[in-house]
Amino acid sequence: MRKYNWRTGCDVEATLSVIGGRWKPVLVCHLLNGRKRFGELRRLTPNATERMITLQLRELESDGVVNRHVYAEVPPRVEYELSGFGRSLEPILLLMQEWGRTFKQRKLAELSEA
């Protein structure tokens, strides 16, 4: 269970309590492109374990960021998509993506000079 004091915690901490960690922002970024099945998300995040993806998706769902759709089929089919509230994270994640791209280029340039 994540610990955050909703009365005294700062606003950045509140945001990080929802999208903090290594895989949540990555999963949300993948869902910006539309609804995905669990297997697709697993393929898109090969460095994350299946268990970690499951746990992160559950937390995102409990925070109202992700909607989970289960279809009564054999075998069962589960799809995930961003909720309207989850879509509000798009500008934040796009800025993080741009910052990361710039940082990677900087690091690669440093490595090539060494």
Domain boundaries, the chain: 11-113
- How many CA atoms within 13 Å lie on the side-chain side of 30? 19
Q: How far apart are CA 15 and CA 53, in angstroms?
A: 19
Instruction: Tell which wins on pLDDT, 40 or 114.
Output: 40
Q: Does the domain spanning 11-113 belong to CATH 1.20.20.10?
A: no
Do 50 and 42 contact (CB within 8 A), yes or no? yes
pTM: 0.85
pLDDT recorded at residue 2: 60
